[in-house]
Chains A and B, each alone.
With several copies, the nearest count.
Chain A
Amino acid sequence: MKLLYFAWLKTKTGLAEENVTPPAGVATVGQLLSWLEGRGPNFADALSDRGAIRVAVNQAYAKPGDPIGPDDEVALFPPVTGG
C-alpha cells in the first residue's frame, strides 16, 4: 500500500511518501490511521487530531469506514487551503 503525506502531515511525519504493509485486520481507513498512530512519536503527534485529517483513497475522499487494500494509494492531508 502506498501512503502519501501532504502539508503539515508531511512535515510532522518527516515523510512525503512510503510503501507499507499493514498487518491483517487493518481493513479500513480508520483502522489504518490507528495503526499508523502507533508507529512512533512522530506519527502519534501527526495523527493526534483526527478531526484535522482528511484521507483520500485512490485520489477520492474517503471516510473512516471505507475499505482499503494492498494496491491502494492512500493520501493523508489537512483540510485544503487552495484558491
Chain B
Amino acid sequence: MIRVQQEDFDVGKELAKLTEGNQAIGGVAVFVGLVRDMAGGSGISAMTLEHYPAMTEKMLSEIEEEAKQRWPLEASLVIHRYGRLEPGDQIVMVAAASAHRQAAFEACEFLMDWLKTKAPFWKLEETDQGAQWVDARDSDDAAAARWVKRGPDAAE
C-alpha cells in the first residue's frame, strides 16, 4: 500500500494494521526516515518537501509492484510525507513483511533505495545560510544500482 500525505503517521499502528490477521508473516522489516539537524554541517531549522503529486503515487506504486514481483511478500507499505518538516520529524516509512527475514530485509532496502532515486520529491532546507535545495547524493545512485537487473529479464 502507498500513501503520500502531509500528516504524521504512527509506526506502531501502521505495522499492526499491516500484519493483522496474516499468520504467514514471520517477520517485518521497517525503515523510518527522520529529519536530521545537520546535513552538510549547517544547522537545519526546517525543511520543505516538494513533490509532483500525479507522478509520486504512480512511481511509488510501480516500485512497490516491482518489490512484490522480486520477493515473496505477504504485505508492504510505503508512506511518504510532503510539506514543512522540522528536525526529528518522520519523513518516510517503508515496511515489507514476509515468511522469512531475508526477503523482508532485502525488499525493505530495495524500496528505500528506489524511492530515494525515483520518487519525485525534493528537499528545500532552511539553513543558517538561507533556503537551499538539497543535492542528490552519488551514494544513493550507487545503492539503487545494486538492484538493477542485467540481461534479458531486466526490468529496466
- Asked if chains A and B are in direct contact (CB within 8 A), the reply is yes
Interface residues of A (CB under 8 A from B): 4, 6-8, 11, 56, 59-61, 73, 75, 77-83
Q: How far is the CA of A59 from the CA of B118 in the complex (A)?
A: 11
Q: Is the CB of B120 within 8 A of A56?
A: yes
Q: Taking A56-B52, A56-B55, A59-B54 as contacts, is the C-beta distance between A80 and B33 under 8 angstroms? A: no
- What's the count of A-B pairs with C-beta under 8 Å? 73
Q: How far is the CA of A11 from the CA of B50 in the complex (A)?
A: 12
A selection of 18 A-B contacts at a CB cut-off of 8 Å is A6-B50, A6-B52, A6-B122, A7-B50, A7-B122, A11-B133, A59-B52, A73-B54, A75-B52, A75-B120, A80-B119, A80-B121, A81-B133, A81-B134, A82-B80, A82-B116, A82-B121, A82-B123
Q: How far is the CA of A33 from the CA of B33 in the complex (A)?
A: 34
Q: Which residues of A contact B134 (CB under 8 A)?
A: 81
Q: Which residues of B contact A4 (CB under 8 A)?
A: 52
